[in-house]
Chains A and B, each alone.
Chain A
Amino acid sequence: MSQATLAAAAAFSVVSALVYFQVARVVAMRSVSADASLAATGFRLWWAALAGSTLLGSLDELIAVFGEPPLGLLIAVGHISLALTCVALWGLLYYLLYLFTGRRRLWMPLAAFYAVYFFVLFGWLLGADATGVEVGRWSVDVSYAKDLADSVLWLPVLAFLLLPQILGSIAYFTLYWRVEERSQKFRVAVVSWSIIIWFGSAGVASLSEFGQEDLWQVTSRFIGLAAAGAILAAYRPPALLRRTLRVEAL
């Protein structure tokens, strides 16, 4: 039974990753001024790194369909995924900070922060002493001698993983009233609310026991895929949406 659910989880992840890659491609096609180029790159990196991290996650799940993945592989994938996540968060936050402040140089302190964040987490994971692989119904995880949730770092780590996207998206949504073009308003609304719902629900689930229920596992993956699809539609709206809402593709 767990093979079917793991296969489904992997499929969800692959499809989601492909959608994120496509969003990265679409936003990459936009030409921007020299001043905004780094922020635009940051936004592309967010999508591309998210895609990469999601794809790596699907690799674990796919291998687990056929047998227990080697611990070493899981740890390596986890570390690479962590690095990609930090790159993605840097990209998203820099994009938002540049949008609001116009200050290009913020990339430096932000990069320094996420570099430190990565090494803190990396050290934390190393110190947590990985003992084996846990193959669940929907995911494959590394088990540690020390319970990460018991650590004093647990909440700050979770906060810095989820809060930037949620708070950033709320701030992003405020641009709805500051942009003039209908298509821009559409993109702002769809992108910001997709991320808020997606990461918000993940955050709530992480903090509750409901997060481990099968129903939630399926629901969360649909939420993730729907959010990714909505975001892609924000940049490349289908014909029906273009006609109904009178919005244009990027």
Chain B
Amino acid sequence: MTTDDRADPGSDKAPDDGPGDGPDRDLHKLFEVWMDDETKLMITVFYQKNPGIIETVEGLARRLGTTKEAIQAAIADHVSMGLLKEKKVRDKVVLVYNRQGREGIEDFIAEQLRKRLEDA
């Protein structure tokens, strides 16, 4: 395999994913942080709607009409949560949506967004 996975070994799973488990308190806390950051929220929603996106940080910035630096700062949490995986592609790094760990996180995010909208 020529692309090496820069995420931690076992990063195919989300940190708190387990069969039948819901996201834990760290996830809730992280999500509260996200909700206050427009860029992070934008990235989350973007990948939720477009799970097939494979892009570099620069490409993602172009698609979202923002700067590379803003994206770079915002995706760290996504990667650490396992929502996005980083893949090395020759001399570039691309971001890939983590479809395997996706299901539980996605439901959680969808629920949080829904609650947020109701409260607004």
Q: Do chains A and B touch in the complex (CB under 8 A)?
A: no
